[in-house]
Structure 1
Amino acid sequence: MTQEPTTEQTVAHTVAEGVARLSWAPDEPVDVVRREVAAALATHARVEALVDPDDEAAQRVATWSGMRREGIMRGVTVDGSPVDRIVYARLASDVPVHEPEGFRALLNSFLPRKRAIAQLLARDTDDRVLLCQLTYKQDWDLPGGVVEVGESPHVAVAREVEEELGLTLPAGPLVLTDWLPPWSGWDDALCLVFDGGAHDASVLEQVVRQEREIRSAEFCTLEQVDERCADFTARRVRSALAGLRGDGPAYTESGR
């Protein structure tokens, strides 16, 4: 059994004020667990379960009993050894699952989430590309950043450019969607590159760097892009420029 503690039936234990933790036997029907969730919420504000990430059956029971997936609790001690557990929980204040909003919230809790990055392809009148030298890595990159939860990527890229460079550069149409595979501790992500327009090189005189993240900003030739950027970034820049001309792909993976 993947729950703590192993039992012969569904049991709710009070683990903190207003919090009940549920465990159940491996073959316990979902409707039994669902009833125990409701019973526990009659006397607790929260009912939760800790589920083994390798136990898909227990994950299904937790979900269809009405508990939302909240995340991974790392290093939980079970039988003297640290293990990871998925935290599922339901609050007494949650919208009932039989109502559309409650059902959507339940689905939303376990469906995949993908990180989005918004970048701006801004050029000068000599077709050089605006790049930023970053403080937290050696290679250069297009201006932009991570899209916040609930934020439009189109809004995010303009916000990031203003925060990092002090420039107001409206974002134009999307020119490239580039998928980035998992790498060096990062989950995979979608990088959305927007047309940043062509500007006089003197626009750099208006830059006010966010010194915590930006060392410098410069319009660069494609040769400099290849020298200064990671290979996948250089490929993304070239693919985005081709998309801007109308003879490139709309979608790439690591710039390819």
Structure 2
Amino acid sequence: MATELTPVSPGVVRVSWSPELQAEGLGPSVEAVRGALVRGFEAGNQRVEALVDPDDEAAQRIATFSGLMREGVARSVESGFDRIVYARLADDTPVDDPIGFRRLLNSFLPRKRAISQMLIRDTQERVLLCQLTYKKDWDLPGGVVEVGESPQLAVGREVEEELGLKLDTGRLVLTDWLPAWGGWDDAVCLVFDGGTHAPELVEQIVRQKREIKSARFCTVEEVHELCADFTARRIVSALINLTDTPGPGYTESGRG
């Protein structure tokens, strides 16, 4: 049989298709898999899923064009082979509806992590740095932008949560792309102006002890001593962009 529906649990079946069907091309394969989805739901199942080899691009296209939404990657211990999990629920919005089509696209299009940081200075031209509990080098205050959250709101939230400071978030001064590093995927770091304050601002800090060991204003020389090199470059680039003759508004690892 070109396609097969295998029961997985009550209300859940798994669709698979033969190599021979896949060899016929995208059109016939998609038509057959779509037919299997209809049969699966007509039989009373609430979920039809498929497990696809990450190296099989043709099978991934078949799953997507059939209306199966990508849910993630199931890592395997026993077989040693990871599988991409695709699925469709009985009450999902039809793909021919604009909302359903956008949801399908959203399930597999790339998503990039965003980080928001705040550049806070004092009247002695020093920068507020945080000593973090989870890494050796120091960094600007800030954190990861939550799903559906504005980066500008995110940095204000992070500064308040980590340091107990309620500061106005100013303009964006730098967009810095961070390549994949040390187990992290790549990300975009957005640095916002946190304004200039009296040195006594540090006395108002209430640390979130789970993440922040300490925080203090540091000179540019101390920035280079305490921060990772790419962080130091980012901070210097952001500082330059506060002047009347700004540097590049976009950098990669702090390099313009």
**TM-score interval, normalised by the smaller of the two chains:** over 0.9
Asked whether the 8 Å contact 1:76–1:85 carries over to 2, the reply is: no
Distance in 1 between the 2:38 and 2:92 partners?
12
Q: How does 1:105-184 map to 2 (within 5 A)?
A: 105-184=103-182
Aligned to 1:92: 90
Partner amino acid, structure 2, of 1:254 = S
Aligned to 1:59: 60
Asked whether the 8 Å contact 1:163–1:210 carries over to 2, the reply is: yes
Q: Secondary structure at the match of 2:154?
A: helix
Asked whether the 8 Å contact 2:2–2:32 carries over to 1, the reply is: no
Aligned to 2:41: 41
Aligned to 2:25: none
Aligned to 1:4: none
> CA-atom RMSD, angstroms?
0.9
Aligned to 1:196: 194
Which deviates more, 96-105 or 196-205? Answer: 196-205
Q: How does 1:3-82 map to 2 (within 5 A)?
A: 8-26=1-19, 27-28=21-22, 29-42=29-42, 43-75=44-76, 77=78, 81-82=79-80
What is the CA-CA distance between 1:76 and the residue it aligns to? 5.5
Distance in 1 between the 2:184 and 2:225 partners?
24
Aligned to 2:218: 220
Q: State the TM-score, normalizing by the size of structure 1.
A: 0.94
Q: Secondary structure at the match of 1:141?
A: coil
Asked whether the 8 Å contact 2:175–2:251 carries over to 1, the reply is: yes
Distance in 1 between the 2:18 and 2:199 partners?
68
Partner amino acid, structure 1, of 2:35 = R
Partner amino acid, structure 1, of 2:37 = V
Q: Secondary structure at the match of 1:190?
A: strand
Runs of at least 4 residues of structure 1 off by over 3 A?
none
What is the CA-CA distance between 1:93 and the residue it aligns to? 1.1
CA deviations over 1:139-167 (Å, ceiling 9, x no partner):
00000000001100000000000000000
CA deviations over 1:74-113 (Å, ceiling 9, x no partner):
0164xxx321000000001110000000000000000000
Partner amino acid, structure 1, of 2:30 = V
CA deviations over 1:5-28 (Å, ceiling 9, x no partner):
xxx510111110110100001334
CA deviations over 1:103-144 (Å, ceiling 9, x no partner):
000000000000000000010011100100001111000000
Partner amino acid, structure 2, of 1:69 = R
Distance in 2 between the 1:191 and 1:91 partners?
36
Distance in 2 between the 1:116 and 1:92 partners?
33
Partner amino acid, structure 1, of 2:94 = P
Distance in 2 between the 1:76 and 1:59 partners?
22
Q: State the TM-score, normalizing by the size of structure 2.
A: 0.94
Q: Name the % identity.
A: 67
Question: How many residue pairs align between the two structures?
Answer: 246
Asked whether the 8 Å contact 2:113–2:186 carries over to 1, the reply is: yes
Which deviates more, 244-253 or 160-169? Answer: 244-253
